[in-house]
Amino acid sequence: MLSALLIALREGVEAALVVGIVLVYLNRTGRRALARYVWAGMAAAVALSFAAAILLQRWQISEDGFEGVLMLAAAVLVVSMIIWMNRVARRLRKDIEQRIERYAQQSERLAGWGIGFFVFLMVVREGAELILILRAVELSIAGLQVWIGTGVGIVLAVAVGVFFFQGTLKVPLGRFFAATSTILVVIALQLALTGFHEMSEALWLPSSAREMAIVGPIVRNEYFFFVVILAVTVIVVLREWFALRAAAVNSVENPAEKRLRQHEHRRRSIWTAATAFLCLVVILSLTAEFVYTRASAAPPEAEKLVAVGNLIRVPVAEMNGVDLHFYSVDVRGSAIRFLVIRKPNGQYATALDACQICGAIGFRQEGSTLICRNCGAPINAAEVGMPGGCNPIAFPSHVDGANIVIDVSAMSTAVSQIQK
């Protein structure tokens, strides 16, 4: 939620700055009548952005590789947004005013259409970036939290824009963009790591069980990056507070008193920064330990079955709801763990308690979702039985009366797919 709030706030403030600068310039130069074109351009951009968001929401991406590409694209957009705004922030007002003045030299109708189209392009650019980045964020954390954070961020951005141009809020924009850029770098890193992890799951990139075990639990657990972003935010706020205190110290005119205050300020800054850094390390260590401990929990108990001939029979009566059932069977002296689940469509799926990438470490269940115990990858119950990097390795079975019948040779063939 914090990631979505910050992204929406940053993009919203950028759009509000563009619209505000145009409106203030038109008002100052006696061209207030052209303001309606500005509002029309902004309304069209907002409407198009909402339409694109709805279409992207309906376009349900289910392939891990495509999700990874989307997240990497969003990470690139975040970085480009940081670079662009930090580069143009100082001359943004001048550039926009020069562009508007050129449009305003034409007839009123042409000037209005030109200004409206300019505002439309500038706002829709921010809207498109916001939609794409938030869609990628939504794939990595709970969707409801994303929309709550987005709503709060947009409301704050509108408030900042209104108060800034009304003169009731003195916002040093350079420091605002510098501070938010620091936090957005963490968000870009999160999106990039998650994107690479998704592409590894889809086998689009080479990966190993070790790499997935290190990266997976972190990128799949929203608590870790929430703590990271929150901690970085606190450090950024402390940095800004120290900058304000330093400015107050430097404003003292008496040289002796100024040196004394500077010495005290440096000493307090060092101790405060060291304390903040130590707290950050402790919090991240505890969070990481919690994440990895949760991922490496003991495997669920497996009921032992015995093959009769070359067949294994699992009673259908045991399959209640979408609960996951674990079994083990001895095949030529080796114990093989497998799972059976009744999918939401009523069909039964059988698979090894293992996947191609992470091996035989297995899965646990949270609600209707299977979680890889090695990398934390979530697998929807409806997808069990489908091929994929972190999906359980499926093997065929069929229902015969009151039993689910499994061929041992088919299970043995599936075992050969486990990455060693």
Strands, sheet with 378-380, edge to edge from the N-terminal-most edge strand: 363-366, 369-372, 378-380
Q: What is the CATH number of the domain that holds 346?
A: 2.102.10.10
State how far the Cα of 126 lies from the Cα of 14, in Å rounded to an integer. Answer: 7
pTM over 0.75: no
Q: Is 189 exposed, middle or buried (0-12, 13-18, 19+ CB in 10 A)?
A: middle
Reading the chain (420 residues) residue by residue, the pLDDT tens digits are 666 777 777 778 778 878 888 888 787 777 778 888 888 888 888 888 888 777 766 665 556 667 777 778 878 888 887 777 777 666 777 887 787 888 777 777 777 888 888 888 878 877 777 777 776 666 555 556 677 777 787 888 888 777 777 766 666 666 677 777 777 787 788 788 888 877 877 777 877 777 777 777 777 666 677 677 777 777 777 776 777 666 666 666 677 776 776 777 677 667 666 766 666 676 666 666 655 555 556 677 888 999 888 899 999 888 876 678 899 998 888 889 999 988 888 888 899 998 888 888 888 887 778 888 888 777 878 778 777 667 898 899 999 988 999 998 888 888 887 755
Phi/psi of residue 152, nearest 5 degrees:
-65, -40
Question: Do the beta carbons of residue 49 and residue 130 sit within 8 Å?
Answer: yes
Q: Are residues 325 and 209 in the same domain?
A: no
Residue where a domain stops, chosen among 190, 220, 250: 220
Classify 414 as helix, strand or coil. helix
Domain assignment of residue 394, yes or no: yes
Position 253: which residue type?
Answer: E
Q: Are residues 115 and 212 in the same domain?
A: yes
Q: Are residues 210 and 316 in the same domain?
A: no
- Give the tens place of pLDDT for each residue, 360-371: 888 888 777 888
Q: Please list, in sequence order, all residues whose beta carbon lies within 8 angstroms of the beta carbon of residue 280, skipping any fewer than 6 positions away.
A: 231, 235
Name the region of 362 (left: φ>0; alpha: ψ -120 to 50; beta: rest).
Answer: left
Domain assignment of residue 296, yes or no: no
In order of 57, 235, 284, 286, the CA distances from 274 in angstroms are 44, 11, 15, 18
Report H helices in 251-298. Answer: 255-295
Domain assignment of residue 235, yes or no: no
What pLDDT was estimated at residue 73?
82
Domain assignment of residue 249, yes or no: no
Domain assignment of residue 243, yes or no: no
Length, in residues, of the chain: 420
Domain assignment of residue 15, yes or no: yes
Phi/psi of residue 379, nearest 5 degrees:
-125, 120
What pLDDT was estimated at residue 419?
57
Q: Are residues 212 and 327 in the same domain?
A: no
Q: Are residues 174 and 42 in the same domain?
A: yes
Classify 314 as helix, strand or coil. strand
State how far the Cα of 239 lies from the Cα of 229, in Å rounded to an integer. Answer: 15
Residue where a domain stops, chosen among 220, 235, 252: 220
Domain assignment of residue 85, yes or no: yes
Residue where a domain stops, chosen among 160, 194, 220: 220
Q: For residue 78, give the nearest of 153, 213, 187 by alpha carbon.
A: 187
DSSP structure class, residue 89:
G
Counted domains in the chain? 2
Q: Are residues 6 and 136 in the same domain?
A: yes
Domain extent for 326: 303-415
Q: Please list, in sequence order, all residues whose beta carbon lies within 8 angstroms of the beta carbon of residue 396, skipping any fewer than 6 positions away.
A: 350, 407, 410
Q: Are residues 44 and 180 in the same domain?
A: yes
Domain assignment of residue 310, yes or no: yes
Q: Are residues 63 and 161 in the same domain?
A: yes
Q: Are residues 52 and 174 in the same domain?
A: yes
State how far the Cα of 70 lies from the Cα of 192, in Å rounded to an integer. Answer: 10
- Give the tens place of pLDDT for each residue, 105-160: 777 777 788 888 888 887 887 777 777 777 666 655 555 667 777 778 788 888 87
Q: Are residues 325 and 187 in the same domain?
A: no
Q: Are residues 169 and 37 in the same domain?
A: yes
